[in-house]
Chain A
Amino acid sequence: MTALVANAGPSRWWRSRTMRRFTSHHLALLGVVMITLLTLACVFGPHLLPYDSLYIDLRARFSPPLTGYHYLGTDPLGRDVAARLLMAGRTSLLVAFSAMLLSTMIGTLVGVIAGYRGGWIGAALMRTVDGFLSFPSIFLLLALAAALKPSPAMVTVIVAVTSWMEVARIVEAEVRSLREREFVLAGRMLGLSGAHIMFREILPNAMGPIIVAATLTVAHAILLEAYISFLGYGIQPPLPSWGNMLEGAQQYLDSAPWLAIIPGAAITIAVTSFNFIGDGLRDALDVRDDRV
């Protein structure tokens, strides 16, 4: 967040140029509002709804939306879709957010070391990045998920392990360009350690691109979790996630289309919001546009 702070006086960061640019980006604001509402709904919603997400009621199977207090209908076991959707949101958002933290840490570490050290260490690290990028992510994800027991923590790790490469590339390029700057030379002259220069001097100056990449990684992680859970290798029932709510929805598509439409819409809204926020941050933090 150094970029945010650097542009402003000590107590007025909310009036900085970065903040003004971000707030003039209407889609980004829309994204922030939607994510806030979604998060609040997932945190408090389940306590306000009349049904528990795991309560099975076979008499109420396949109730369409707006049946009594089942605002979004029920699933094949008669469980309330609204309650499941919000509980699933907790899982999916938490997994995606944790995966983002983990993958950003891995990517930043690899990128900083590769960019600062350069030479054969840098080359080896960046070729490893290329190697990981050569696998279609879902093939690698599914192979790992099928072999390891997919607890939520394991899904988080697997998603992180397959999505750190983009951050590593961005950080490496950024660090490589900062390495020759005067303040780094000054640091070396002062006899600061390599680790100190890498993480205390250079890294804060590369924060803008990292924040943008991290935001887009959340969006990506939500999608990846949804893909593998939809295919049955991600978050396992009875714990609901947006992805596993869709598992099996295809066979009821004709008779109970809401089972497929509602969770997918939630995923799309969440992912779109994070993409909007990422786009706004990119403009506000002046990160050059080399990603879609």
Chain B
Amino acid sequence: MRGFLLNRLSQSLILLLIVSVIGFLVLNLLPGGPLAQFGLDPGMTQDDLERLKEQLGLNRPLLIQYFDWAWRLLQGDWGHSFRDGAPVLAVIGRHVPATLLLMGTSTAIAIAIGTWIGIRGATHRYSVFDYMATVGAMVALSIPTFWFGLVGIYIFSLQLGWLPAGNMYTIGDGSVLNYLHHLIMPSIVLSLVHVAIWSRYMRTATLDAISQDFVKTARAKGLSERRVIMKHVVGNALLPMITLAGVQLPSILTGALVTETVFTWPGMGRLFLDSLGYSDYPVVMGLLMFSAILVILGNLIADIAVAIVDPRIRLG
């Protein structure tokens, strides 16, 4: 267990290093580099730009600049927003809870529905339900998230008037019910793709588990089919799903960005787009690095969770 943890931890650190190099290169090798947005400012002359480069140390060798940047990143100095001068980490921190709430809710929905569809598909293999679920998953994976959101708003907000078309709460109404009411549609929209993915993997994992010897033993003991499935199959099939939840993090974040845009949800995705609009490079870079770190951390936690739950890894 100890060896496994150290191994996984060092892998994550190496990945973090690579991610920081990619992020740094994206920032620097683009035309104009970190000062690109100032080049368009009519108040800036070429001389000013040269002087700024000198002041900010942008004419040093790239390798030195990288270590300087990475060192400050490690110390929590992520720079300041061009828009209002606030520290980047604080700006991001303000927007993280809304995104986590949306992602958490939609992941819960995806796990609940996806697990059910996957198990039912596997236990009723090649049935009409299984076939519909397979085709349905492929179609669901093909629907652009933002379009699904627009159609949802058209039907449930504009035509039926059941659900709000956007925002996180009604101004002046801070009740939990009001938050929940606003949370329903965006979290369902975000969960669609993940219900599809989750159900496909769950079906495969359940089929794998069903064919194992311990399931035959359980059946031979005379347990009811329901008990065999619930106790012996599902428990084992859910194990690889923990890893899947970690692997799916980047795609959930991508979906969250698009969903937040459609539903004017005040999370990281909207912050990213707003910052792009303002050419607020420090915040854009901060979000890029923050989301990658979140993904690496999520995968690490998922792997540790599997190791804790699975005695084969814990004791092996």
Contacts and interface: CB of A to CB of B under 8 A. Distances in A.
A140 B18 CA distance: 15
B147 A267 contact: yes
Contact of B30 (A139, A144, A219, A249): A144
A268 B19 contact: no
In the complex, which range does the number of interface residues on chain A fall in? 35 or more
Interface residues of chain B: helix, strand, loop or mixed (majority):
helix
Contacts of B150: 246, 249-250, 253, 260-261, 264
Contacts of A146: 276, 279, 284
Nearest to A219: B142
Interface stretch (A44-52, A125-133, A199-207): A125-133
Interface in B203-224: 204
Given A131-B15, A144-B26, A139 B142 contact: no
Interface string A249-292: 11001100100110010011001100110010000000001001
A208 to B, nearest CB: 20
Interface stretch (B51-59, B249-257, B306-314): B249-257
B18 A130 contact: yes
In the complex, which range does the number of interface residues on chain B fall in? 35 or more
B112 interface: no
Contacts of B145: 227
B273 A142 contact: yes
B31 A148 contact: yes
A224 B268 CA distance: 19
Contacts of A143: 26, 276, 284-285, 288
Interface string B10-30: 000011001101100010001
Contact of A136 (B14, B15, B151, B257): B257
B253 A139 contact: yes
A284 B22 CA distance: 38
A128 B14 CA distance: 10
B287 interface: yes
A268 B14 contact: no
A55 interface: no
Given A138-B258, A250-B262, A253-B150, A267 B144 contact: yes
A261 B144 CA distance: 11
Interface residues of chain A: helix, strand, loop or mixed (majority):
helix
B126 interface: no
A140 B279 CA distance: 15
B184 interface: no
Interface in A111-164: 127-128, 130-140, 142-144, 146-148
Contacts of B288: 135, 139-140, 143
Contacts of A289: 204
B138 interface: yes
Nearest to A27: B135
A230 B146 contact: yes
A260 B154 contact: yes
A24 to B, nearest CB: 15
Nearest to B166: A250
B265 interface: no
B142 A142 contact: no
Contact of B15 (A134, A137, A253, A257): A134
A233 B279 CA distance: 13
Contacts of B138: 27, 272, 275-276, 279
B291 A139 contact: yes
Interface string B42-78: 0000000000000000000000000000000000000
A1 interface: no
A83 to B, nearest CB: 21
A257 B151 CA distance: 9
A130 B15 contact: yes
B272 A142 contact: yes
A81 interface: no
Interface string B273-291: 1001001000011011001
Contact of B144 (A131, A137, A226): A226
A135 B147 contact: no
B137 A136 contact: no
A74 B158 CA distance: 21
B256 to A, nearest CB: 8
A231 interface: yes
A70 B137 CA distance: 34
The interface centre, meaning the residue of B21, B22, B279 with most chain A CB atoms within 10 A of its CB, is: B22
Interface stretch (B85-93, B194-202, B230-238): B194-202
24 contacts: A127-B15, A131-B15, A134-B250, A135-B22, A135-B250, A135-B295, A137-B254, A138-B254, A139-B253, A139-B254, A143-B285, A144-B30, A146-B276, A146-B284, A148-B30, A227-B258, A230-B146, A231-B258, A246-B146, A254-B158, A261-B150, A268-B139, A271-B142, A271-B144
Given A130-B18, A135-B250, 14 more contacts: A133-B250, A134-B296, A136-B253, A136-B257, A139-B287, A142-B273, A142-B276, A146-B279, A223-B144, A261-B151, A261-B154, A268-B144, A271-B144, A292-B196
Q: Which 8 A-B pairs have the closest CB atoms?
A: A264-B147, A131-B18, A271-B142, A136-B253, A272-B142, A147-B30, A138-B254, A136-B250
